[in-house]
Structure 1
Amino acid sequence: MKALRRFTVRAHLPERLRALEHLSGNLRWSWDKPTQDLFEAMDPGLWKQVGCDPVSMLGHVGPERVDELARDESFVQRLDALAADLDDYLQRPLWYQQLATETGGGADGALPNGLPNGIAYFSMEFGVAEVLPNYSGGLGILAGDHLKSASDLGLPLIAVGLHYRSGYFRQSLTADGWQRESYPSLDPQGLPLRLLVDASGEAILIELALPDGAQLAARIWVAQVGRIPLLLLDSDIPENDHDLRGVTDRLYGGDQEHRIRQEILAGIGGVRAIRAFTAAEGLPSPEVFHMNEGHAGFLGAERIRELIEAGLDFDTALTVVRASTVFTTHTPVPAGIDRFPVELVERYFGPEPGAVGSRLLPGVPVDRIVAFGDEDDATKFNMAHMGLRLAQRANGVSLLHGQVSRGMFNDLWPGFDQEEVPIGSITNGVHAPTWAAPQWMELGRELLGSDDLSSLREPQTWERLKQVDPGHMWWIRSQLRTALVEDVRARLRRSWLDRGAADAELGWIATAFDPAVLTIGFARRVPTYKRLTLMLRDPDRLEKLLLDDKRPIQLIVAGKAHPADDGGKALIQQVVRFADRPEVRHRIAFLPDYDMSMARQLYYGCDVWLNNPLRPLEACGTSGMKSALNGGLNLSIRDGWWDEWYDGENGWEIPTADGLADEDRRDDIEASALYDLLEQSVAPKFYDRDERGIPTRWVEMVRHTLQVLGPKVLASRMVQDYTETYYIPAAQSLRRTIEPGSSSAGEFDAPFGAARELAQYRHRVHRAWPQVEITDVDSSGLPDAPLLGSQLTLTAKVNLAGLRPEEVSVQAVLGRVDAADALVDPVTVPMRHIGAVDGGRQMFTATTPLPITGSVGYTVRVLPHHRLLAGDNELGLVTLA
């Protein structure tokens, strides 16, 4: 018989062990090894059985064992010390508090230098720990690492997402290697979550008005990630109709209507959840809102509704929202963006037929919402476009991805060259305590002489690795490889049994893989562009590499295809069928059900991390960073983060055939280059040993990788970059917009006056801009025989269509010109206003030395200028001569 419902019953803890609930309820245990060791000590066998989950451990440990532990003075002392350490971690000043102290306090109670009082971080998935499977891949793992590092740095951040009843999916294989999905139901009461309740103990609900009079309600679960509260909205409650209870059933499941409901709940419901949480906890409302991808983009529309309700007009409210919003894009291809039919958006955001004022966002015109998502296809609503239009600051997740994003979204800033599109970049990072093997963390403590590893953010700290004997580094790498082989064998056995094999025919697994053999890992989601099967392009050559007598390699492959992606499933099946062959199955394996626990073992133990996407379609690719943190060497196409940080000594670059129209030919060329590298460079370095059996050249590459990449790949560096580059400027921008404005007439003297000023300026600029014209450019100051450094004087006459000279920026633009007269790598020179001429035109001039030799050209342009804009290119308006 099957149970109707699953729920968790925990053992009653005596007072002496009550701190176990405190430790298990804060997900800091997921990156704190001493806390994990404490729970394992309760019952090592049970710890492994419950998946190394403290909450589950407390639900399964027997009362006799609990009583025994309560009498164990040594255990109780360890428990008390760890509880005290957690309390100290949660309360002591960290980097953010030190930053505030260094810069002095604000008289109005605000943090100094624009440091935000609070940051709201929205993501559709969060990979914090495997026991909370709210993630599918890199986006969620990145979000989880962002929260952990924000906690380690002391940021006042609140995160928001959805609680999926079935998470993503569990993956297994059929006998013929086809991916199967299963969706086990998760009991939130058996997870490290607490329900947000009011003073009377009742669950706090947020509510959303949907079409046809429906109401969607959600409760709020709180996962405590160190210092960071993660709010997860859950629609599976009795207050909802049956179909609405399923809104939060699965991550990335369902049709477009299901998806838009999820994204409305994440964005609009997420803002309402933050308001409920901060009110219940007595916390300040966040000043900065960060969208991790466009899924939660409707949060901006909800914030506009709040401000309209407070008395602002739409455009003033939009100005305030934009000033304080950051948008991060993670996709390098249009196909990766959520797009909804416009009529679907209109149905959810328009007024109910026959009902006065019954709508999801009262006071917010539906046509303005639709305009946020406008794109070339008038029938589609583009979530990324909405994110960019609602955020004053935007970024990609590596230098190369920033370049790709500027090209991808160039049409939103017509008239600007790709390089001037206001999308920056912050390269992703990974959370070292989560992803670095305990052996490396222990070595770090030894080198620092301290348990405080915060100085790992400093490059000079990593220079201490020069003190470490090569033999010791090789011993760590060999230990980790041996542990990986044991783990692979256990997973292989489980997979083969699940596929229908008999135990009697699996004797070969006991000797499958070899702790002494060069081990390569390839694990990630399975979209087409990641090219899971590039390694199989020449199966005979791959087999020869696997089975080489003197320098063999072994290959571990893992990854999930989206349940609706039969093409991805077919790629997995190709790998499985190749790996099933008796000739090679001891050297190559596909491991199903890739998750954080498997990933960790792979990052620890693989000598080489393989990545071969179609360049430039990998936005960042943080899996290679995690391998590098463990002394793994990357073997990768120059894409994502590897494009900017590969230096020739920290791994290998797979040559690319960029621009080749024939995709099959491109795959052949790049696969051949991969095989050549493995055969001629990677394997020889690994197997070339000194008299002690140590591959000295290999170990020096490992040392160099750790020294050079260690401080760069850290998520703490990433979160510091976000704080300094985006969060602080956004908070400063918000505070400027809510101040009285600068008009001498006094019409902007009230609060939000600056926002009203900017909103009216935008109106005037958009109205005037079609008539703004550069009527004449005079270069009479150009010498007859110009030399490098010669002075060029340009004068321009501009019709400003009623705008004042100080409301525009007039620029001379100079640079080398190509055969089509396009300016290449131009420089801009501000032109100053020198007065009015006939017909009301304004005169501007600039004098500048000629900066380069060769074919040089110039032009003049006009852009809007206002002190509250993040840049003169923000409005996407430009007039060229």
Structure 2
Amino acid sequence: MKAIRRFTVRTVLPEPLRDLEELILNLRWSWHHETLDLFRAVDPALWEAVRHDPVRLLGEVSPERIGQLAADRRFLRRLRDAGDELHDYLTTDRWYQSLGGAPRAIAYFSPEYGITATLPQYSGGLGILAGDHLKTASDLGVPIIGVGLLYRHGYFTQSLSPDGWQLERYPPIDPNGLPLTLLREADGTPVRISIGLPQGHDLHAQVWLVRVGRVPQLLLDSDVEDNDQAARDITDRLYGGGGDHRLLQEMLLGIGGVRAIRAYCRITGHPAPEVFHTNEGHAGFLGLERIRELVSERGLAFGEALEATRAGTVFTTHTPVPAGIDRFPRELVRTYFGGVNEEPDVPVERILELGAEDYPGGDLTVFNMAVMGMRLAQRVNGVSLLHGEVSREMFGGLWGGFDTAEVPIGSVTNGVHAGTWVAREVLELAAREAPAVLGSEDGWDQVRQVDEEDIWAVRRTLRARLVEEARRRLRDSWRQRGASEAEVAWIDDALDPDVLTIGFARRVPSYKRLTLMMRDPDRLRALLLDPERPVQILIAGKAHPADEGGKRLIQDIVRFADGEDVRHRIVFLPDYDMSLGQSLVQGCDVWMNNPLRPLEACGTSGMKAALNGGLNLSVRDGWWDEWFDGQNGWAIPSADGLSAPDRRDDLEAAALYELIADHVATLFYDRDGGRAPRRWLEMVKHTIAGTGPKVLATRMLREYVERYYVPAADAGRAMAADDHAGARDLAAWKQRVAKAWPGVAVEHVESVGEDRMNVGARLPLRVVVALAGLDPADVAVEVAYGRVDDADALADPSYLELGGPEPLEDGRLRYVGDVPLERSGSFGYSVRVVPRHEGLATRAEMGLVALPPAPQGMADGVLR
């Protein structure tokens, strides 16, 4: 008989062991090896059986063993030391506490978080990045509050049918079996958050509190008795359901998340966030709730509240693919935010304006969550330099009139949390042979002095561990597919700890090209079975349950890997999760990545491999485009100029085969008469020393703090001062400028002596403008100048603000200045008028610019 309900009964620990529960309820254990050692000591065999889940460990350990531990003085001493060490970690000042003027708290919103495999609330890179963000914030002392949803079924677990088709299962998750607790009021009652729904209903949620080191994480859960069944199912699974379901999830995340933060700060006394960081558009509705608060509680008008909200908001976009952005029918948004559910303080028409694609090429029938997120944030960034460029192209319509390079979308290249992803053996080798690496981001050159034999021994250990883990998972998968014991006997000898090992693991959308390696099956087979330089490839990845094309790609590669001639050299490992990801990035010699350039926003798995001594073999996309230096791996040539997809895939696959055969494998097996491949290991040391400090999440988070959080906090404070006088002033100024702007014009441009200009001279310039009643202090008149291309377009121009103004008749004004001629060759300039206000983060913020009616003053000659 099957149980109709499943729940977890927690162990009641005797007093001497109470500190064990505190250690378990703080997820710092997930990246702290000494605490993991303590858990292992509770019952080593059981620890392996529960797959390193400490909550399950305590749930299944025998009462007899608990009694033994409570009387074991050595264990109790270790427990006390671990508790003291955690307390020091949580209370000692860290990097952030040395900063002056930094925000008191930052709210970080994400729809998913990958913190540990025992808390399955993630699907891919977005969640893993969010988890690393919180852990790094804890390590650096950054006062972040994480906000997300608790999915009762998480993301799906993946298995394969006998013919290799992806199967999904959504096992139920009991929160009482996870390392989290309910957020409760002072009287012990659970906190309840509510948001309004159409027909006068409310959606209720409770709030689970997760401790990620020093960082509190709040997860909202709609599975409460106050809701009907449909409402209880809103947080059933990550990225599940149709449009209504997804919209409700994002309303709960954004609106409910702000209300959960308010409750948490009220109960605990935690400082209220001064900065709100929206990790992708899913949480964009948080801005609407903050506007509502300011209108209803502070008496601001909508536009004034919008300015106050924008100033303290950071928005990070993670996708260069339009299909990766949530877009809802406008009428669906009107249904949920209008009618009886309409907030008088937040009119539905104003909401629809925020998400409107009202720019050339936009779809006026949809509500774009990323567009709303950008309009609600004064600071926007992509997640690599290349992704920043792509995002400026992709969203440039929001700032029409400005060149793509001036679109105010910056970039902070992602990083990875070393404590989570770097193997213990690597950390111990660094502590022993290159301790400067562990203490700062400046001592990485010490890696170059480490003995190659020591590095090779660690790499062999990690590769062998990966082989054992792969065999275990492969055996389980074949049994799930219906194979008998006799049919899985070959797995005992599958893979080889001494063979060049390539890893390829990721989500399986078409642009990541899971099967590019199979473009020529015979060439792939030859690489795998080379008698002198064999290669083995470990593959993992999940397709979205609704992505039939992605599932076919998985089936194609599984069928190839099932072949009796190659199955010992290429394997597909189902149910890609954090645990498998850690094994792969630690054990693989090479991390392969071949997306369609430039559709990989960043891609962090290759960073993790690099920190473990792996080399990258990748198309120059995302982070690899930025930090490939010719000595830290190999760049797969990209044919991204070709319009024929098949031809492009053929060329890039051929280049991939050639690189593996003639460069990667050749170097790996070049032993020079010894056991260790010296030249390979020189590349490994160069990679760790040169690339290592760049890919750390500590570098990433410091950039966020210094370039985004601190300026956002400063801007938010300026808007809030004196009862939000700054916000009121900026909103009124923007309204006045926007109303007058159609009449602003550049009427005349005049320069003298263009035919006699030499390098080092200055070109006098006079510009006449009409300001349509605006004050000269409201604008800046600028000249853009520099090299021009064959189409007379300015390439990477410099800018100079012109002086004046001198009043002329009819209210016009003359501005003057001298343009420096700093280079020879083709030269040109143009002029423009842009709004100017101290409350603007950039000149392009309003998307307003006045240009001359036709190109004027272009210098056609060549400067000498």
TM-score, normalising length from structure 2? Answer: 0.97
The answer to whether structure 1 residue 601 and structure 2 residue 583 are counterparts is yes
* From 326, 334, 340, the counterpart of 1:338: 326
Matched residue, 1:109: none
Q: Distance in 2 between matches of 1:32 and 1:803?
A: 60
CA distance in 2, matches of 1:447, 1:803: 66
SS for the counterpart of 1:755 is helix
How far has the Cα of 1:851 moved from its partner? 2.6
Aligned to 2:252: 265
**Distance (Å, rounded) in 1 between the aligned partners of 2:557 and 2:344:** 53
Partner in structure 1 of residue 73 of structure 2? 73
CA distance in 1 between counterparts of 2:11 and 2:547 reads 43
Are 1:168 and 2:128 counterparts?
no
Aligned to 1:822: 793
Cα deviation, 1:78-127, whole Å, max 9, x if unaligned, reads: 1110010000000000001122xxxxxxxxxxxx33x1011000000000
1:218 aligns to what? 205
After superposition, residues 773-792 of structure 1 pair within 5 angstroms as 773-780=745-752, 782-792=753-763
Question: Which amino acid in structure 2 is aligned with residue 770 of structure 1?
Answer: P
Residue 381 of structure 1 corresponds to which residue in structure 2?
367
Q: Does 1:410 align with 2:393?
A: no
Distance 1:557 1:238 in 2: 43
> Does the residue aligned with 1:879 lie in a helix, a strand or coil?
coil
User: Does the 8 A contact of 1:305 with 1:362 survive in 2?
Assistant: no
Q: Which residue of 2 aligns with 1:281?
A: 268
Letter aligned with residue 877 of structure 1: L
Q: Which amino acid aligns with 1:414?
A: G
Give the secondary structure class of the aligned counterpart of 1:177: coil
Q: Output aligned runs, 1:163-312, within 5 Å.
A: 163-310=150-297, 311-312=299-300
SS at match of 1:589: strand
Q: Please state how far the C-alpha of 1:10 moved relative to its aligned partner.
A: 2.1
Residue matched to 2:724: 752
Counterpart position of 1:855: 826
Q: How big is each residue's C-alpha offset from its partner over 1:281-307, in whole Å with a ceiling of 9 and x where there is no partner?
A: 111210000000000000001000000
1:420-499 to 2 correspondence within 5 Å? 420-447=406-433, 455-456=439-440, 458-459=441-442, 461-499=443-481
SS at match of 1:814: strand
Q: How far, CA to CA, are the matches of 1:217 and 1:493 in structure 2?
A: 44
Q: In the alignment, which of 134, 149, 152 is matched to residue 136 of structure 2?
A: 149
Deviation at 1:454, TM superposition (A): 5.8
Matches within 5 A, 1:515-530: 515-530=497-512
What corresponds to 1:674 in structure 2?
656
Contact 2:776 2:805 in 1 (8 A): no
Pick one of 299, 303, 306 that aligns with 1:318: 306
Give the structure 2 partner of residue 638 of structure 1.
Answer: 620
- Deviation of 1:789 (Å): 1.9
Offset of residue 71 of structure 1: 1.2
Aligned pairs for 1:699-848 (under 5 A) are: 699-740=681-722, 751-780=723-752, 782-848=753-819
1:639-679 CA-partner distances (Å, limit 9, x unpaired): 00000100000000000101100000000000000000001
Structure 1 counterpart of 2:859: none
Q: Using the alignment, how far apart are the partners of 1:312 and 1:274 within structure 2?
A: 22
* Root mean square deviation of aligned Cα: 1.0
Cα distance in structure 1, aligned partners of 2:273 and 2:19? 31
- Cα shift readout 1:833-853 (whole Å, capped 9, x = no counterpart): 232101101111111221332
Deviation for aligned residue 1:9: 1.3
SS in 2 for 1:165: coil
State the alpha-carbon separation in 2 of the partners of residues 737 and 666 from structure 1.
51
Q: Contact between 1:118 and 1:288, CA under 8 Å: does it hold in 2?
A: yes
Superposed CA deviations along residues 220-264 of structure 1, whole A, max 9, x for unmatched, are 001100000110000011100110000000001100000000000
Contact 1:38 1:79 in 2 (8 A): yes
Amino acid at match of 2:140: L
Distance 1:864 1:440 in 2: 54
**2: CA distance, partners of 1:568 / 1:240:** 36
- Change beyond 3 A, Cα 1:35–1:174: same
Aligned mates of 1:243, 1:292 — CA distance in 2: 27
2:680 matched to 1:692? Answer: no
How far, CA to CA, are the matches of 1:534 and 1:705 in structure 2? 26
Question: Equivalent residue for 1:107?
Answer: none
Deviates more, 1:464-473 or 1:302-311: 464-473
Question: Matches of 1:176 and 1:739 in 2, distance apart?
Answer: 65
Letter in 1 for 2:384: S
Match of 1:594, SS?
coil
Give the deviation of 1:464 after TM superposition. 1.5
Matched AA of 1:566: E
For 1:566 and 1:727, the matched residues in 2 are separated by 41
2:604 counterpart of 1:622: yes
Give secondary structure in 1 for the equivalent of 2:755.
coil
Shift of 1:27: 0.2
Alignment-derived partner of residue 40 in structure 2: 40
Taking the aligned partners of 1:270 and 1:625, their CA distance within structure 2 comes to 31
Determine the structure 2 residue equivalent to 1:102.
Answer: none
| Counterpart pick for 1:394 among 372, 380, 399 | 380
| 1:51 Cα offset (Å) | 1.8
Q: Aligned letter for 2:713?
A: A
Match of 2:105, as an amino acid?
G
Offset at 1:56? Answer: 1.3
| Contact 1:26–1:225, Cα closer than 8 Å, also in 2 | yes
Aligned length: 847
Letter in 2 for 1:650: N
The letter for the 1-side match of 2:748 is: D
The Cα shift of 1:825 comes to: 1.6
CA distance in 2, matches of 1:505, 1:304: 63
Residue 439 of structure 2 aligns to which amino acid in structure 1?
S
- Per-residue CA deviation, residues 266-289 of structure 1 (Å, 9 max, x unaligned), is 000000000011101111210000
SS in 1 for 2:270: coil
Measure, in 2, the Cα distance between the counterparts of 1:835 and 1:324. 38
Number of the residue aligned with 1:351: 339
Q: Give the letter for the 1:433 counterpart.
A: G
SS of 2:818's equivalent?
A: strand
Tell me the CA shift for residue 783 of structure 1. 4.2
Measured in 2, the distance between the counterparts of 1:436 and 1:199 equals: 41
* Partner residue, 2:543: 561
Residue by residue over 1:163-196, the C-alpha shift from the partner in whole angstroms, topping out at 9 and shown as x without a partner, is 0000000000000000000000000011001100
Offset at 1:495? 0.4
Question: How far apart are 1:362 and its partner, in Å?
Answer: 3.9
Partner letter of residue 328 of structure 2?
F
1:692: how far off? 3.0
* Secondary structure, counterpart of 2:339 in structure 1: coil
Shift of 1:11: 2.2
Q: Any gaps of 5 or more consecutive residues in structure 1?
A: 100-111, 353-357, 741-750
Q: Shift of residue 449 of structure 1?
A: 5.4
Aligned mates of 2:88, 2:438 — CA distance in 1? 15
Question: Secondary structure of 1:867's match?
Answer: coil
Residue 419 of structure 1 aligns with which residue?
Answer: 405
SS of the aligned residue for 2:76 comes to helix
Q: CA deviation at 1:819?
A: 2.6
SS at match of 2:797: strand
Residues of 2 paired with 1:382 and 1:603: CA distance?
A: 35
Q: Deviation string for 1:56-77 (max 9, x for gaps)?
A: 1111111100000111111111
Code of the residue aligned with 1:317 in structure 2: it is: A
Contact 1:11 1:62 in 2 (8 A): no
The answer on whether the counterparts of 1:397 and 1:428 sit within 8 Å (CA) in structure 2 is: yes
Distance 2:557 2:474 in 1: 14
For residues 270 and 71 of structure 1, what CA distance do their matches in structure 2 show? Answer: 44
In structure 2, stretches of 5+ residues that fail to align are 853-864
